[in-house]
Structure 1
Amino acid sequence: MTAIESFLNRLIDYAGLFPPASLNMLTSIRNYASYRSGKYAWALGRLIVPVARLTEFSAALTEVGSDEQLTPWLLGALSTGDVQQDARLISGLDPGVAVVDVLESKATNLTEVHKLLLATPPKTTLYVEFPLKNCGQIIPALKEGNARAKIRTGGVTADAIPSVEQVAEFLAACAKARVPFKATAGLHHPLRSVQQLTYEPGSASALMHGFINVFVAAIIAHYGATEEKVLAVLNERDPTAFRWSKHALAWRDQELSAEQIREARETVAIGFGSCSLTEPIADLLDLGWLA
């Protein structure tokens, strides 16, 4: 596996139901089915669906048809906030067709985190989204509970985008505790850049994080990089600073082998949710980083 393949392997969860795309269920399912059989299926992660819409998902999948399915679809499900309701709705899925093996929830404090840890079903991976100011408290608790962290890296308004300092603190805390994480929102493009916040004509623009920045920063943090270097990667806007070869990625004077990338991706830097798979892939093709 090449360095770019190690980096992108199952990196992108498809969240077409969510802003700014906000597609309907049928369209999202058709897109995901197409991605599963497409050229870059190896970069595709789970389909993200709210638990509250799992019944709608099952009906839509039946309508679309599942002849192309060789294996059940893996779903990341967003909790309703009600553990019993989550369990009931998840149990209604046909495991031969789709499986919820990831549950994503929110918590504001340690008490809520501990409740989630106790309530999560066996064999389900729990991701918890929390206020970034609470990194120091909550990430160690996730480690104790064998759960994972989730960071929101953007949104449809500029104030939803966390600062590079906040992202760096989150990545450093995950690296220190060896807690895996995923990101969500605002990572459609590879590099930090000014982009439109929505697909609407005349949409406002803002300086957004890039998924290459965030995950390269996470990987070097995993291998002990200083906070200064992590911040520098998050702030990097020059594509020529990243040099991909078959067996390595170099960012300025820092080199990562394909094996180091694979190990960090599997253990800490898990992936990110995006309402588009085609957009990040197209940008990588334009940069010449992907063939």
Structure 2
Amino acid sequence: MRLPPVFHGLCDDAAVFPPGLMPLAEAVPAHLRHKASGHAELIGSFVVAAPALKDLEPLLPDGERLDLVVTVPAGPEHVTGALAEAAALPNVRLVAIEVAVPEGMPPAELFGVLDRMDSDVPVFVEIPRDERRPGLIAALPGTPYRAKFRTGGVKAHLYPDEAELADAIRAVVEAGVPFKATAGLHHAVRNTDPETGFEQHGFLNVLLATGAALGGASRADLATVLARRDGPGLAGALAGLDATAVRERFLSFGTCSITDPLTDLANLGLVAGGGDPA
């Protein structure tokens, strides 16, 4: 399968998270099959929450490396412990930590805790969807930390609308802060989920909105891009995208299904050759 560079490493494998909730014992071998498949270029890292690290070692086969992202939902004070647990695992390369920001913790305190880590592993700060967001994004430039946005979840209110996500993308692009997304980006194109009725963002929309933000587009223009539902039109617009510049900003997104993004790309004619989903 030939995969355009704009999609390389775009999909982090978050199979163990909702709504997929694949058991860890099944998710690890499935991830390794994806990484050995014809669509391996699409696949980024395997994502687990810190509490699951204790269950990971028996599932790691000899001779195969697992690139790992660890989420730390309990906050920055627990990052050091997660780093130590991950470092003790055989055949694992820790590529990133994702940390939640506790309620009431100001940016200076957050960064102060993170700065005490004795590690060069990249850290993504989950940006809250409240009044703290502008100040936290404004504080990120000049630090080694990156941004993470939630774009969905298991309830409708967990999905930011186009205007909110446009604001977030515009803010980090203007600040020069790389970002990743998690939850809700199951499909390439903006859609209404037929089972839940949730309005879901598309990862092609996010790629194109990031490109538009790099070009100085307004919040309204970005919201328009995020609202588009014309798959062929979005696919065609990728030809005008500076893929390198966009992917330096929009690094990846976590998805509980690798098959869904792959199938959408194939249906839009954006990947060539037959797929072999795990």
Q: TM-score, normalised by structure 2?
A: 0.88
Q: What amino acid maps onto 2:92 in structure 1?
A: A
Map of 2:49 onto structure 1:
50
Moved over 4 A (4+): none
Say whether residues 1:271 and 2:252 are aligned partners: yes
For structure 2, which runs of at least 5 residues remain unmatched after alignment? Answer: 273-278
- Equivalent positions of 1:33-44 (< 5 A) are 33-44=32-43
Say whether residues 1:249 and 2:277 are aligned partners: no
CA distance in structure 2 between the aligned counterparts of 1:243 and 1:86, rounded to whole angstroms: 39
| Match among 82, 85, 95 for residue 81 of structure 2 | 85
Map of 2:96 onto structure 1:
102
Change over 3 Å in CA distance of 1:73–1:137 after alignment to 2: same
Q: Deviations over 1:227-260 (max 9, x none)?
A: 222111101011232244xxx825xxxx32xxx2
- Equivalent positions of 1:169-184 (< 5 A) are 169-184=167-182
| Match among 165, 168, 183 for residue 167 of structure 1 | 165
In 1, are the aligned partners of 2:204 and 2:234 still within 8 Å (CA)? no
| Match among 130, 133, 156 for residue 127 of structure 2 | 130
Q: TM-score, normalised by structure 1?
A: 0.85
CA distance in structure 1 between the aligned counterparts of 2:235 and 2:143, rounded to whole angstroms: 38
CA distance in structure 2 between the aligned counterparts of 1:32 and 1:91, rounded to whole angstroms: 20
Q: What amino acid maps onto 2:82 in structure 1?
A: D
Map of 1:283 onto structure 2:
264
In 1, are the aligned partners of 2:190 and 2:205 still within 8 Å (CA)? yes
**3-state DSSP of counterpart to 2:148:** strand
**3-state DSSP of counterpart to 1:179:** coil
| Match among 192, 195, 218 for residue 194 of structure 1 | 192
Matched residue pairs, number?
264
Say whether residues 1:19 and 2:18 are aligned partners: yes
For structure 1, which runs of at least 5 residues remain unmatched after alignment? Answer: 197-202
Map of 2:275 onto structure 1:
none
Say whether residues 1:261 and 2:261 are aligned partners: no
In 2, are the aligned partners of 1:10 and 1:271 still within 8 Å (CA)? yes
CA distance in structure 2 between the aligned counterparts of 1:73 and 1:25, rounded to whole angstroms: 13
Map of 1:233 onto structure 2:
225
In 2, are the aligned partners of 1:17 and 1:23 still within 8 Å (CA)? yes
| Match among 49, 69, 77 for residue 76 of structure 1 | 69
Compute the displacement of 1:163 (Å).
1.1
In 1, are the aligned partners of 2:207 and 2:246 still within 8 Å (CA)? no
Say whether residues 1:151 and 2:149 are aligned partners: yes
**3-state DSSP of counterpart to 1:249:** helix
Change over 3 Å in CA distance of 1:45–1:243 after alignment to 2: closer
**3-state DSSP of counterpart to 1:131:** coil
